[in-house]
Structure 1
């Protein structure tokens, strides 16, 4: 056969419509029939077209009925077609072997491979899978033209029941391998053991590393009619050493027919994480080896883990001789074992009290109360220390405070340590935030400047509605308010800090200020193309092309004008955009149709479509070009319907021409 074969591709319905005969196809006879009836047009017995007939007489019959030059083959019988199909496949589609006792070898069956009368075969090979094996035959790696060879296959079942495999033949005359299904039935020997397990998997769950789990029992039964003898009982796999199997099942200890034995399985992980293995029991059982999957997870040895929160505590200013308000530190055991506490203490002038006791359970926490009692004026610092059996002991928290004399002021923010303004549009003012400043000391404080500093200090301000002001006298026990504003100058996180100065008074720590600038909503124009090219055929004009406008912004887009720089180009009225002005909501799209009036006689023309609107930049452009062509439109399929591109074997015109040529050859031969 050649690549110009006129056999068409057939639909699945056509293949299914042809009934398969019960005839046992003979590829040797098929070779003779192929030479007599087909080799005049098909000099090779395997091409992409002819291969469709391999083991498919229905495809060949349908080709005879639909290809005119094959009409002379309509007299071929169903048996003839089955033999030819088998020859094209070089084998029957399947071989079935008689029932064979497990471990025994069946009678062989033979497959014949034929070379065509004109072409030798090379790279001849045959592979067999399953309980089947190649047991002889005359086929080597090559086969001369007009000759045949044999491949002999035998069946040796390894277990009782239905067994299957495949004989796959390849050679230079085939475009794809020929698969031949192999099947047979294994029969248990008259006296043979059979192994059965009461479980195929054991999951031990979580187990602490280097400790042994509870036992799990596996029952092994012999359901055959002969004694079961073990040849090996082994644990294998990535974590084989983590599992053990002991008990009454052992090599050298047969299990009587109908009897059973038991194995005790245990898990002792040597490392953390998933640990898997498998238990394999090898024996003389007719159904082969038995396997059990083993799994478990190693967990780390339980340990305590101590942490303190917060990591530091500031008491601010406290009058010498007085005690501050108590502040709380939380001790947490986030480990997996109890935390043994040996000491909780704070360095003077700080003191600590607690009810944590001497032990804290895994996952639990307790509170430690810390007080500052300054013994002199000025800054003081120290640590709260917790000693325990946790790694990293002792754990500490930094403590700080300032002692002040009785006649001085103490300034404190009474209602905030940080101010978060949240989101605000760039250039707009967020809602103001009010802070209260109190003098908790015993003397009058003179307020200094309120200073905003930091990376984005200019975005924050002290509002004029504040009652606190520089140089203001704030008596002991008095208060004033400070109003803060936020107006972001850019999008994104914005931050700064607020500090206050004073004379004759201690001052509080700086207050963190934060807010987020959000960009104002704006439209944006997205185009489906930045340029359009038109080619006019020899007759007529180029077809219209569609351009899509999309509002990729966050606000309504308004397009006020669509302008063309060359009147040879035009905008159609069928697009969804309509005429300008055009309004598009955020995320919406619409289309315009662009046409060129040029013909094949026209020279190359260009133009620019300018879109004007309220998007960034105010305008956007699309480059347009048109060019004439002297080529006529392609009439694919010879003026009729076409199945392909007009040049392939599926084109009706090509099929008709091939049929006429074949008819002419037939007529000349007959004459």
Structure 2
């Protein structure tokens, strides 16, 4: 080893091992195993009994200390844990989560963990379960269609299931209207089922509604099963009922509504005897002037009905019937409807934000708009309410006052945040009221699914179309930004009018490597006029499979969407629309326009680049079309061909261009321009002019040679060099030669030889 270099190494070695260098930063991390929990169906129990617990392990996956400030379970879920407020690196704790539903049906929620974890301050465990009533019916309604008067339909079955852990004793099974039932459901063991067979035997012409209900030894009791059928015939009753149906709307479970009246009129020519009045479960007779009465021709009587849903059972519908037996006449029926609700309810009762496509960094490509929730106080007095969201969902524009008056409404927006995890995201909006009770709080189920396997555009409207005629294809681009290879197993079309659509080209083969794309072309051939719809499905092993794009056609009413993709590989610029709606500099953009609108897309500023259009656009710097369907447009922005002039050697002089743009001089001056853009296809001529004591030795590059002018067609980046050398005496060596490259100026020192004629460095 050269001693000089060895000594140099010894000199820097202490610097390499110096303890003055700061230690690496340490950050906390958090992982959840599993990241979500699904609970088995759980019986709703006013005593508050919860499910068996499920375990989630919380681990500090970082190198720093994890500080946990809060762990909260939402709605009908609860948690307990052994987690300290401070966890050292790579240590774990456990959390037990329980489910105690107070409502029938699906329930979503979340456990939210707030900490100092890097990039994951809010960690979420998605939760889902199903609340079961003590007794359930499947199906929840029967439709017998049209049956001739005086005949009977075939039997349809209803399965009654005992969801209790004890034997169910049924004391009565009742049906109303023109319906009959047979069953062996007097006693049903825990977890077992029995069959109830129902027939429809209309005795009158027209629609006849009814209900199947039971009386048992459990509380809350079962909700009724709705029965629907139509009698076909000429038999009419002299008993006219008005109105033909009563709808009580929403009613807080466990309370009784105000009465609504039905008037019975004898439209016959002789007296009418009302022999019996009967009601389905969930309803009560208020007043009754009809039962046991004899109505002379043209006379009336009335019956008032109240809706009284059982306590602790919501949200459930109560189909029913008021049955009036008379002589001479077959039984007449008034349809009844009402819904048992909790003290505070919301519409909609669930919000699904669908699939949110993201780029590889997790930025949403189609962020869903916030959804409005309308909250209603169903209680008979004002309620102090609180509204809170859980999981990766946020509330905004909450107009709800602290005290919401009885029957009053308020509105709040709920949004899917950008701080989500890949895959399904579950949460809820919890509505709590001051009246308390088993049905408090109410949960609005929230769901969204985030995936970096994206389909663009997420929907496409082919416009009105002509039945039997095929449209131009709509192209869907699938991008795999998941960070791993994607195995595509199936591409399909589903939905109401899936037969109208066909996949005409498919480049999506397995595996679709990470970061790559493939395309699907879909053609619409509507079988009929009017609105048509279907879905394009991509089934794979990625998150949120199958990913879907909506297909629409058959309507020219709009609005229609422009889906614009801007590629700016060699230029920067912007595509704007007239009228306003599109303003896009790169990536994917979209804008909606009314049907029939003429839209013009153009680049701005147009002088800096040229545009290559594809899709619905073609032509020069702008394109126009009429919005009669969704449009797909790709704009590729390329810089106009650039001319670079370099003056080499030691001479002085200048180069100018026709058309103007180049005015390059040596020595360089403040107004020297050696780089310029010229539109493609333009004829450019360069002329060299020498300075004092300089000669022009010719051109090189760009297809030019000789000592005359240099002419060419601008169609690619051109580099033209002009050679020249200034003759100076030996004392003036060291002159500067100027070379300008785009916006960078490089000064090259020119050292002349002993004769003052050539640069030697």
Higher strand share: 2
As a proportion of its length, which structure holds more helix? 1
Q: TM-score, with normalisation over the residues of structure 1?
A: 0.25
Greater radius of gyration (CA): 1
